[in-house]
Amino acid sequence: MLLKGPEMLHFRRAVTVALLVGGLAGGLAACGSDGDSGGGVASPPKATTAAAPVSEEARREAIYLEATAAHLCAVQSRVYTDPAEMASAYASKPRYAELTEAEVAAFDERAKTDPAFAVRLSEAITAACSPSAPSASTG
C-alpha cells in the first residue's frame, strides 16, 4: 500500500516529528506502557535459512528499523484527542535490543539525512502496519 497526497504528507510529518522530538526527549521512554503491542524490546531479526551471513551493521540496522517501525505503527494507529498526548507518544522511543543510545542517535540522524535509509524506514513502517505483513521479509 503506497501512501499518496495528504496521507504521505501526514506520514512524513509524523516520522519527522517522531525523530526530532524523540531525539530531544532523550529516547529513554518506552512505548506501549499501557499494554499495546508496540512496546517492549525489539527482538533481533530472525535468521533465514540458506541466506548469506548478515553483517553486524546490517543486523543492527534491522533491529533499529523493525523496532522503530513497530513503535510508529502502534502510535499512528491510535486516535489522540489531546495534541500534547500525541506529541508525547511520537516522542517516546521503544527500547532497542542490543543497541546503545549512541547507535540509536546515529540511526535517528541517518533517517533524517540519508534518503535511502529513510525509504527503508518508510518501507518497514508500511510492512509493520500492513495487516497481512509477514514477520520477516527478504529484500
Q: pTM higher than 0.75, yes or no?
A: no
The domain segmentation of the chain, as residue ranges, is 5-44+52-129
Q: How confident is the model at residue 20 (pLDDT cuts 50, 70, 90)?
A: very low
Kindly indicate the confidence band of residue 131, based on its pLDDT and cuts at 50, 70 and 90.
confident
User: Residue 88 above 90 pLDDT?
Assistant: yes
Q: What is the CA radius of gyration of the chain?
A: 15
Please report the sign of the dihedral spanned by the C-alpha atoms of residue 46, residue 118, residue 14, residue 104. positive
- How many angstroms separate the CA atoms of 118 and 16, rounded? 10
What integer pLDDT is reported at residue 59 of this predicted model? 94
